[in-house]
């Protein structure tokens, strides 16, 4: 069974999610689906001009994973341009950061996208400076919420007793805990 795909962090959600060749009815076009994570890879590398290492860090993936995402995006966009297909931007495995905002006047708290610039309290209409410095909730895809993710904990060296393996979780593979 393959490992589940780790969500990629994206900082941008597009306002326009469909592109098609001019003059051809949509009903006769095939389409290529470009994931939100693939669009983010294209944006970081080609629009912002970042190095691959920094792009991977911002998406919270390994450099090799970022390269695979970027290659997939290049392939899909090239195929759509050469073969005259429409491009639909949707889906993918991603997380988009949201933050909590508190109104200093009435105390009401609500969630906003972290890149929101102008904020007013939905309860009293008071202008608010911006997201709280310590967000407690991060939204992922619709209907999914992750409460503040704790940092990855690695026990100190010497606490690998259970499986005597190289991994602090207790060994290697199926022989975990058997002393192999």
Q: Which tens digit of pLDDT belongs to each residue from 36-63?
A: 999 999 999 999 999 999 999 999 999 9
- Segment 91-113 shows an average pLDDT of 79
Class of domain 8-94: mainly alpha
Comma-separated ranges of CATH 1.10.10 domains in the chain: 8-94
Q: What does the pLDDT read at residue 68?
A: 95
> In which element (H, E) is residue 68 found?
helix 63-83
Whole-structure pTM value: 0.58
Distances (CA, A) of 36 to 51, 83, 152, 162: 20, 22, 26, 41
Nearest Cα neighbor of 107 from 86, 128, 93 is: 128
Residue 84 pLDDT > 70, yes or no? Answer: yes
The least confident of 46-60, 81-95, 137-151 is 137-151
Residue 144 pLDDT > 70, yes or no? Answer: no
């Amino acid at each position: 069974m393959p490992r589940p795909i780790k969500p990629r962090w994206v900082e941008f959600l597009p306002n326009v999610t469909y592109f098609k060749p001019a003059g051809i009815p949509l009903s006769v076009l095939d389409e290529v689906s470009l994931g939100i994570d693939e669009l983010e890879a294209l944006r970081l590398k080609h629009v912002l001009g970042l190095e691959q290492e920094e792009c991977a860090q911002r998406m919270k993936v390994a450099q090799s994973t970022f390269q695979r995402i970027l290659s997939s995006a290049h392939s899909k966009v090239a195929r759509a341009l050469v073969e005259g297909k429409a491009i639909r931007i949707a889906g993918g495995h991603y997380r988009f950061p949201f933050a909590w905002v508190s109104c200093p006047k009435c105390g009401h708290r609500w969630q906003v996208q972290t890149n929101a610039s102008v904020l007013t309290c939905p309860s009293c209409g008071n202008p608010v400076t911006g997201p709280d410095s310590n967000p407690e909730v991060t939204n992922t895809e619709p209907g999914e919420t992750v409460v503040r993710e704790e940092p990855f904990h690695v026990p100190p060296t010497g606490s690998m007793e259970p499986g005597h393996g190289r991994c602090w979780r207790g060994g290697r593979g199926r022989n975990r805990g058997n002393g192999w």
